[in-house]
Structure formats: C-alpha cells, structure tokens
Structure 1
Amino acid sequence: MLPEVTATRYVTPLREGGSLPGIVEADDLGTYVMKFTGAGQGRKSLVAEVISGRLARALGLRVPDLVGIRLDPVIGRAESDPEVQGLLKASGGLNLGMDYLPGALGFDPLAFETDAAEAGRVVWFDALVGNVDRSWRNPNLLVWHGALWLIDHGATMIWHHNWPSAPAAAAKPYDASDHVLATFSPDLAGAAAELAPRVTEELLTEVVADVPDEWLDGEPGFDGPDAVRRAYVEVLRDRAAGVGDRITVGERSADKPSQAPEWVRVRLDRKAGK
C-alpha cells in the first residue's frame, strides 16, 4: 500500500500542469508535488499515476517516490486564489503526492543526451501504458543529479475511462513519432527483450494492490475494487506480450505528416539516413 502522510501546508501551485498540482509540506517533514482528487481529471488520473509509477519503478526506471496525502480542506481557507481555494476544498481526504526533487531541470532534448538503451526502455514503457503525454511539446521528464526521471503519468491507460474498450487496447499500436526521445535512436528490440518478460501477472498484481480502495470503489460495471484491479492486470499483461512489435517511430502517416518542429524532423531523418 502507499505510505500515507498528512498535508500541513500548501506552498504554491504549479501552473504548468492542467490539473493544477501544487507543492505541499507534510507531517513527515517531506515536500511533495500533490495531485488532487478534486481536479478535472478526477481520481482516475491518480490511479494512473500510481499504477504507471509503481510499474516504472519495478522495471528499473526512475520515478519520484509516491505517497498518499491526507488533506483537510481547512488548508484552503488562507488561499487568495479562488481556483486554488476551490480545488483544495473539493479534495478533502486522500490525494496523491510525488516526492519533490529540488533543483531538478526539465528535460530539453537539445541540451541533454541519453543513450539508445535508456531511450528504448522509456519509449517501450510508455507504449505499454499508452502514455500520450511524453512528446517534444510536453516531455514530462526531469534531469536530477544528472539522471533522467519520469513524471506525470495521469494521462496513461486512457482506456480505463471507457472500460468496454479495454480488451481491444491490449493490441493497440503505439505511435512514438513525436515522443521526446524518438531522436535518440531508442533500442526498442533490446528494451522489449529486457522488460517484457518482467511484466508478469505477479508483478502487475503487486503494483495494482498499491491503489487505494477509495479511488476504485464504485467503478461502474465492477463488483468492487479487487475486480477493477484485476481488469488493469489483464490488459497490461496482455499488452506487454507484443507491444514492442507495434511501436513506430517516424512520420505519422502519408496523409498526416508529423507535426513535430523542424529540428525533430531533421534529427529523425538523419537517424534514418535520409
């Protein structure tokens, strides 16, 4: 289960995120980036953060530590921003926190390098969880102490917003043309050989067990939280088996060329020998 702390002070909002996450201090003296159940994406965004974050860590990728944060809405009384105040008041109870990485820099593919092996692992993982939010427009990667860290997985597993579509999602291809690491020659074959055998039913069962019951309870079409957890396990297990063969990197299609900026297209063309 997620370790739990209690928020003691709301420090400041992070305006970069569409869900308006904020930096908070907690009773364990830690500082966290907090995501709220009262945000527009709701609790499913937090479920995606937990499952994707825990799975990434289990596969050897760097993700900030996750905690559950208990929030008393009274904290919002001192906020002058009505939007922030409303968000805090709507998010009483258990929310999600990610360890704040002080001094971390946003990943810039023109300023930082990574090798083909690490790029391949990240792209393969994003394909597994269907991450639509790690593009050159919005990398959702940090560089901390010289290493690459993965953040913001609330937009993964979008099939859980429409459970009847979930079985088909297991075989869905993944277009990595605009992935922020596409220009680093990601070693997808090596990543698949290394990571796919590790995504076992046992590992997935352990990962989804960390999602709090209260974020899964009441899901339409399911008898309870354990049934929802089982559904996540089945889709991710089936997807892991062959997703490496369904990843494409390059132009989107003949009728819809990549919308990436020129520097991305030039680097992809060079990698392809064009």
Structure 2
Amino acid sequence: MKTIDIRTVNVVQYLQPLREGGSLPAIVKADDDFLYVLKFRGAGQGKKALISEFIGGELARAIGLNVPELVFMNLDDSFSKTEPDEEIQDLLKFSVGLNLGLHFLSSAITYDPLVSVADEFTASKVVILDSLISNIDRTAKNTNLLNWNNELWIIDNGASFYFHHNWETWENHLTRTFPLIKDHVLLPKANRLQEASKEIQQLINNDVIAEIIANIPEDWLINEGETLTTDEMRTAYKQFLCAKLTMIDKLVKEAEDAR
C-alpha cells in the first residue's frame, strides 16, 4: 500500500485572490519556491471544507486520477497586517495556522463540457468518486475540473461529506445513495462505470481509507460546540466511506439509471 506523505510548507507571499471561488482562495508562494492555490480555514465553510478537500483529493489520487499535489500550509499573522482589502484582511486574520494548498497548475483551463477533453474511463471514475464522497458540486455550472497538458485534473472537493455539518444525524447517511449524481457534469461521458467500479475496488480498501483519515490534522477537527470527539469524527469519516464502498454497485446502478 502506498504511504501518504503530505508535506508542510510556509506561506511567504500572498499574490492574488481567485475571486471566481465563493471562498476567495488565493495564489500564494511558499518557502519551497512553488506557487499554490491556498484554501483558507477562515473561509465560509471553514475547516470542514479543508477536510473534504483533503479526503476527496487523496481518494482521487488513490484511484489513479490526476490531482495537484496537496500540502499543508502554515500562514502567520503578518499577511493580514499589510493587506489593504478589508474582506481579504479578515480572511487572512481568521486563517492563521494550518491551511490547505494545491499545487498551482500554470496555464490550466477550467473544464468546459462542450469543448474540453475527458476520456470515458476517467469520466466514469470521477462520477463514482463523487458518488462515494457525496460531492454536490461538480456540475455544468461549476465543474471544479481543469484541463492541463491535455489531461483532466480534479480540484475542489470542498462540498463533499455534507453530513459533517450536522454530526447529530451523520449515521442516517450511511445507507443513502446519491441521487444528485444526475447533475454531474461528466455523467454524459461516463459510459464505463462498471469497469471503473472494478478498478476502484482494487485500489481503495479500508486500509487506504484509514490512512487518509489518519492524516487529517487534529486541529481541523476541533470546532466549538461539536458533540463528537476528534477520534469519533475520524471513525465517522471511515465508517461513512467504508459503507459507501460496500454499496458501490448500488451507486453505479443509480448513476447508470441517471444517464
């Protein structure tokens, strides 16, 4: 089994906000001299969006999809003090600490269902992945996909695992399918779902899931007023994904019917 090794880097320069994202991610430079798209813990959905982004991204990588390298990014309090824009200033202030970065793919273009490249097998894998993680945000309006070097790249899984916004009822989601797959931007191209499902089942199992969950920073799981401990949350994420894996045939059938 591949071991997950997530690097931690420090932000050294805030370059520009990406205003097309509702959570105002930004292009930043780190102390390894690379550029990253920084997802902020102080943004709308907070640290939970970072957790979704992290789990979804590492699962996508585990099943052989293209994902920009994910890194943990330390942000100190010096950036908010020199930022003139009040909205960004607040975001930086509330995001001091550990955030999540995606390696910036220079000259990548946003996936457009009418003109962009996506082969049928890759499309099928993305559709199944998004059913497994209950990603409600990979639609024609907001594809959260890039084309880079003539290949499809997965970005932005932050709207997944929506059960974690209410821990009281998370167990109700264990047996649910994902009807919203009908709106998935890649569904029309996903005509190799059975084949993709077999490959996914060979590549991810309970151990792979457990290792990804173990790498979530402890700090991201701590929120005021939560009813579960951080260990209970890790167990919940694992149980949820393992449950979805056992019902993958049902999820595939749901996607096939939606096509």
TM score, norm. by length of structure 2: 0.91
1:183-198 → structure 2 map (5 Å cutoff): 183-198=188-203
Residue 118 of structure 1 corresponds to which residue in structure 2?
122
Q: Does 1:236 align with 2:241?
A: yes
1:255-266 → structure 2 map (5 Å cutoff): none
Q: Report how far residue 94 of structure 1 moved.
A: 0.8
Cα distance 1:93–1:152, how it changes in 2: closer, same or farther (>3 A)? same
Equivalent residue of 1:8, what SS?
A: strand
Equivalent residue in structure 2 for 1:150, among 148, 154, 160: 154
Cα distance 1:233–1:249, how it changes in 2: closer, same or farther (>3 A)? closer
State the distance in 1 between where 2:173 and 2:228 align: 18
1:4-153 → structure 2 map (5 Å cutoff): 4-153=8-157
Q: Report how far residue 178 of structure 1 moved.
A: 1.7
* Structure 1 stretches of at least 4 aligned residues deviating more than 6 Å after TM superposition: none
Equivalent residue of 1:152, what SS?
A: coil
Q: Does 1:201 align with 2:206?
A: yes
Cα distance 1:249–1:222, how it changes in 2: closer, same or farther (>3 A)? closer
Aligned sequence identity (%): 40
C-alpha offsets along residues 170-224 of structure 1, whole Å, 9 cap, x if unaligned? 222223222111221432211222213433111111111111011113572333x
Residue 255 of structure 1 corresponds to which residue in structure 2?
none
Q: Does 1:182 align with 2:193?
A: no
Task: Report if aligned partners of 2:26, 2:37 keep a CA contact under 8 Å in 1.
Answer: yes
Task: Report if aligned partners of 1:66, 1:96 keep a CA contact under 8 Å in 2.
Answer: yes
Residue 221 of structure 1 corresponds to which residue in structure 2?
227
Q: Report how far residue 156 of structure 1 moved.
A: 0.5
Residue 168 of structure 2 corresponds to which residue in structure 1?
164
C-alpha offsets along residues 50-108 of structure 1, whole Å, 9 cap, x if unaligned? 11111111111111111111111211222221111111111111111110000101111
Task: Report if aligned partners of 2:41, 2:50 keep a CA contact under 8 Å in 1.
Answer: yes
State the distance in 1 between where 2:191 and 2:256 align: 12
C-alpha offsets along residues 145-173 of structure 1, whole Å, 9 cap, x if unaligned? 11100000110010111123322322222
Task: Report if aligned partners of 1:76, 1:89 keep a CA contact under 8 Å in 2.
Answer: yes
Task: Report if aligned partners of 2:117, 2:150 keep a CA contact under 8 Å in 1.
Answer: no
TM score, norm. by length of structure 1: 0.86
- Which has more radius of gyration? 1
Q: Report how far residue 249 of structure 1 moved.
A: 4.6
State the distance in 1 between where 2:216 and 2:52 align: 9
Structure 1 residue runs of 5 or longer lacking an equivalent are: 253-267, 269-274
The aligned amino acid for 2:248 is V
Task: Report if aligned partners of 1:173, 1:243 keep a CA contact under 8 Å in 2.
Answer: no
